[in-house]
Structure 1
Amino acid sequence: MSKKLIGVDLGGTTIKFAILTAEGEIQQKWSVETNVLDEGSHIVPDIIESINHHLDLFGMTPDQFIGIGMGTPGTVDIENGTVEAAFNLNWKEKQELKKQIEEGTGMKFAVDNDANVAALGERWKGAGENDNEVTFVTLGTGVGGGVITNGEMVHGAGAGGEIGHVNVEPGGFLCTCGNKGCLETYASATGVVRVARHMAEEFAGNSELKQMLDNGEEISSKLVFDLAKADDVLAKLVVDKVCYYLGLACANIGSLLNPSFIVIGGGVSAAGSFLLDQVDAYFKKYAFPSVKKTTVLKLAELGNDAGVIGAASLALKFNN
């Protein structure tokens, strides 16, 4: 029997686990709640306990596995398998993940940043078609992503692939990073709402979105896209502005890297082809001529499974 992989997707509220074949097919999935109490000191023991418990449950042993891969928030030291400063996990001190999990499970362990890991998942088994040149952009509460070139994840000197902090509007909205005009401030779920509020102030026509904002009602990025699909004038202007910034960023990514695919995922991407078609139009407007012929924009395909699949792929390096 060929050996299996374990993928772990560590999030602020849930830890997702999967057992996969060496070819990346999910065979079992489960999840546990993330216990961030006591400075996150329960998280690693909970991961070890859950893996060991499920191996017992399935009648499996560590020698049947190539290894464990994990995606985590925070600043990751890939070589040493440690994580620092993951604030949504309440980790303030360095976490010795590799050492603890290898000792606790008897299996080899590899870790990377969660956005990078989702990129690896989409590249391996999703929209990236296992191509060697893939850039992944994820539109959630923020904007994250990962860059894969020559089949390898780009880490730079430590902060490579920070797509959300590509500057698309110098002097624009203030970002949590301290700069102004980052892509994240326009194209994330919170960014879409911010653009809507900003544009509503100067809009004078008839618009349901305008009325809702003027009345102090809560709105979401999904609502903005739904109203735009329903022909709301202000909502359409907001979506056009968001797609302009995304398309511009993708054109710049294309000119720098010329990936085969730029894959767009995350919650905002649920708007589907309505989003993608408009982003693609701006991409083609601003991209270098040969890039617009060779780089294809696609929607992500794996949804919530991207994290565990990408994490599992980290363990394949032990398969030598």
Structure 2
Amino acid sequence: MRHLRNLGSQFSISLPPDEEGFIGRECPVAECEGYFKVQPGTGLKGENLPCHCPYCGQGTDSNNFLTKAQVEYAKSVVMREVTGALLKDLKSLEFNHRPKGAFGIGISMKVTGKPSAIRHYRESRLETEVVCDRCTLRYTIYGVFGFCPDCGVHNSSQILNKNLELVRKLLEVAETQESQVAQHLIENALEDCVSAFDGFGRETCRAFAAKAVKPSKAAEIRFQNIGGARDKVREQFGVDFAATVPPDEWKQIQNAFQKRHLLAHRMGVIDENYLTATGVAPSMFGRKVSIDATEVRDLSAALKVLGGKLFTLLEVKK
């Protein structure tokens, strides 16, 4: 059995990347089993680095993140090597003794067959590619938000900043349009600003929910009503993200969110709730709220700072 012995007791098997250079990973946590992909050669350098699931955040040895398809592929490669070596060894034992004499009996042994087949697989296509702004790992996930598989940092701030950059580009387009189209784009930009911060805030609170008084309630905090979100974050996490910006800037952020609410639910027409929340003159009741590009641009810049402050407050909280 020379060929079998030459195989040794261990096998080193390379996993083939997809056409874009990514290799699939699967969370080992039974309640998650989330599928994602990473690009080898990017991210952290070193030996025995842990891997983190982008979806549930759990981290453990990277060897535990093999996908089921990869395991079956590795098994099939091993079986092909073993059966191939076994066939070669058995082939070396073939013989053919021809019959001798008038009534002689001949005997022979011939080995047929071929090594077992390899179970090839294809990595699945995912929805969002991310380059971590902390460790530069390139990875792809379902959805948008997630923890970096290498350094474990949640990408909510990174996604917020990208969305706010798109808002600024939309405002640049508005400058080249006629007044009605420009106003429509400005109002859309305001909506995008609020939606981006709402998505960021929800995901950030969910990512750090384990630090909250009641994790289930922290994961449900919504940020379209930013004043209400401030109260709930303070209640669950014991931090006041609004206090990280000047009072007049916080007031401007609140007013912009109120304007977005009118545009989304009342065609921009001022109602009693807006008068109470903002303190504008009662004579404005029934008029259409005004919003200009400068106001949205300032909101975008303020939310970038406010988002960074909120993320840091929750990240460093013990």
Confirm or deny a common fold (TM above 0.5): no
- The structure with more strand, counted as a fraction of residues: 1
TM-score bracket relative to the smaller structure = under 0.3
TM-score by length of 1: 0.25
Kindly indicate whether structure 1 or structure 2 has the higher relative contact order, using CA contacts under 8 Å at least 6 residues apart: 1
TM (norm. structure 2) is: 0.25
Look at both structures and tell me which one has the larger radius of gyration over its CA atoms.
Answer: 2
